[in-house]
């Protein structure tokens, strides 16, 4: 049955080549446009190294404090290390919690007596290397003992090691970081700047810099954010509840400062954090989803109307064939299903072409597509094929093909299957 359907579809393609070509091109372009929009969103949420556990991530990127009495004044931004440890680092429900500086800082790095090179730095704790799955080429990350001792050690990405040392085999060598000596303890593969929570070119223990002492608002606010690795997505609600209890407990301890913390729905999942636009407002995840659905519908309905006309034209030329099949006892539902299935094969083939084109386009124009309007880094986002070719994106493309097939051929196939047999035989359908 399947082979007959394929053979019949191929025969129809040969007999109506121009309409078929136009249908395939139109469908491919439609899927291409939709998948480009989908990919622009999905690179923010799909897992890829070193953020392979994004589905279990929760973020507390910022904190919000208000005046305790009248709440006339507020401060929104990153936390001090002390605040992050008390509110998030002490949580018992998650598997792990890591605390690190939000974004990257531009530092100069180089060998003594040689020209320096700019490098993007992030200060982290030792759990950072357990939450994020970096690929180490050589060496190892700094551990808790290194962090507690505040040792001047650093993990460096491969390309930065080549710029500074002329080779990626630099584990154990010393270099100057803003004119302070540091030792390389490990080299990792380069990280895309699209991995916003983990990206940097050099990572050092926060205890080896002044970032932990740089605080304000009574030592409550500072430079740090946190990422929570949940044991399971089922724990998200429990983590939020425990976080709120920690915040309430801390508010009781800081009454003398005149401030109190408000949570604004934190911590956020990866998807919710990705649509966050400011530190003082809770992201409207449902609103963002609705907006995306409207865009997808527009990109589906407009080409579907045009493709529907071409499908109607193709089926009109097959009126006699449909009439003969009806005269020999073929039921309307069977004809409708067969016409829909034939068109689905064409749509699926065109959809695969459109999906491949969208991946190629995204790889070629990654700078224009994926650079965010606001970013701490000026580095052009690097795109790996594994970020774009995900099971979720493939099945999304298949889903859109199915919808486009229903929208563009459903009504014409329904009309063709319910036409009058006599008129169909006389090609008057």
Calculate the CA dihedral of residues 18, 21, 24, 25 and round it to 10 degrees.
-110
Q: Which tokens in the block code for residue 293?
A: 């659905």
Question: Is residue 267 within 8 Å of 243, Cβ to Cβ?
Answer: yes
Q: Tell me the pLDDT band of 178, cut-offs 50, 70 and 90.
A: very high
Position 201 pLDDT exceeds 70: yes
Instruction: Give the model confidence (pLDDT) of 282-298 as tens digits.
Output: 999 999 999 988 888 88
Q: What is the mean pLDDT of residues 4-31?
A: 69
Q: Who has greater pLDDT, 27 or 2?
A: 27
Q: What is the pLDDT of residue 429?
A: 44
pTM for the model: 0.83
Q: What is the mean pLDDT of residues 393-404?
A: 75
Q: Which tokens in the block code for residue 72?
A: 């006339």
Calculate the CA dihedral of residues 316, 322, 326, 327 and round it to 10 degrees.
100
β 153-157/202-205 pair status = antiparallel
Give CA–CA dist 290/287, Å, rounded: 5
Instruction: Give the model confidence (pLDDT) of 115-130 as tens digits.
Output: 899 999 999 999 999 9
Q: What is the pLDDT of residue 421?
A: 56
Report the chain's terminal Cα–Cα distance, integer Å.
27
Look over the chain and give the mean of its residue pLDDT values, rounded to a whole number.
84
Instruction: Give the model confidence (pLDDT) of 61-90 as tens digits.
Output: 999 999 887 766 788 999 999 999 999 999
Please state the length of the chain: 429
Position 353 pLDDT exceeds 90: no
Torsional sign, CA 330, 334, 339, 343: negative
Q: Who has greater pLDDT, 319 or 161?
A: 161
Position 192 pLDDT exceeds 80: yes
- Considering only CA atoms, which of 86, 93, 103 is closest in space to residue 58? 93
Position 375 pLDDT exceeds 60: no
Q: What is the pLDDT of residue 1?
A: 45
Question: Is residue 129 within 8 Å of 196, Cβ to Cβ?
Answer: no
């Amino acid at each position: 049955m399947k082979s007959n359907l394929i053979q019949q579809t191929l025969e129809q393609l040969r007999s109506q080549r121009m309409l078929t070509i136009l249908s395939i091109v139109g469908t491919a372009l439609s899927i291409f446009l939709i998948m480009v929009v989908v990919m622009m969103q999905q690179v923010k949420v799909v897992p890829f190294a070193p953020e392979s556990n994004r589905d279990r991530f929760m973020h507390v990127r910022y904190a919000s404090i208000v005046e305790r009495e009248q709440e006339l004044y507020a401060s929104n931004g990153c936390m001090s290390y002390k605040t992050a440890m008390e509110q998030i680092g002490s949580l018992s429900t998650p598997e792990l919690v890591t605390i690190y500086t939000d974004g990257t800082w531009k530092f100069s790095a180089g060998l003594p007596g040689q020209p320096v090179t700019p490098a993007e730095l992030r200060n982290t704790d030792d759990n950072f290397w357990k939450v994020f799955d970096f690929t180490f080429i050589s060496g190892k990350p700094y551990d808790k003992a290194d962090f507690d001792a505040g040792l001047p050690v650093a993990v460096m990405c491969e390309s930065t090691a080549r710029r500074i040392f002329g080779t990626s085999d630099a584990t154990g060598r010393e270099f100057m970081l803003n004119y302070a000596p540091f030792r390389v303890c490990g080299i990792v593969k380069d990280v895309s700047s699209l991995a916003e929570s983990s990206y940097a070119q050099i990572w050092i223990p926060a205890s080896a810099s002044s970032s932990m002492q740089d605080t304000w608002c009574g030592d409550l606010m500072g430079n740090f954010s946190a990422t929570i690795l949940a044991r399971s997505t089922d724990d998200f609600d429990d983590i939020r509840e425990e976080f709120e209890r920690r915040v309430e407990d801390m508010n009781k301890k800081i009454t003398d400062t005149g401030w109190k913390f408000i949570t604004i729905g934190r911590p956020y999942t990866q998807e919710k954090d990705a649509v966050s636009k400011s530190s003082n407002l809770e992201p409207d995840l449902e609103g963002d989803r609705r907006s995306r659905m409207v865009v997808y519908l527009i990109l589906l309905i407009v080409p579907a109307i045009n493709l529907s006309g071409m499908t109607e034209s193709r089926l009109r030329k097959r009126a006699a064939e449909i009439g003969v099949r009806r005269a020999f006892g073929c039921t309307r539902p069977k004809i409708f299903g067969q016409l829909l299935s034939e068109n689905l094969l064409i749509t699926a083939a065109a959809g695969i072409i459109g999906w491949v084109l969208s991946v190629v386009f995204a790889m070629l124009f990654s700078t224009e597509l994926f650079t965010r309007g606001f970013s701490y880094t000026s580095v052009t986002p690097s795109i790996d094929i594994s970020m774009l070719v995900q099971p979720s994106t493939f099945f999304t493309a298949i889903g859109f093909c199915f919808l486009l097939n229903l929208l563009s051929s459903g009504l014409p196939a329904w009309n063709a299957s319910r036409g009058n047999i006599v008129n169909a035989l006389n090609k008057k359908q």
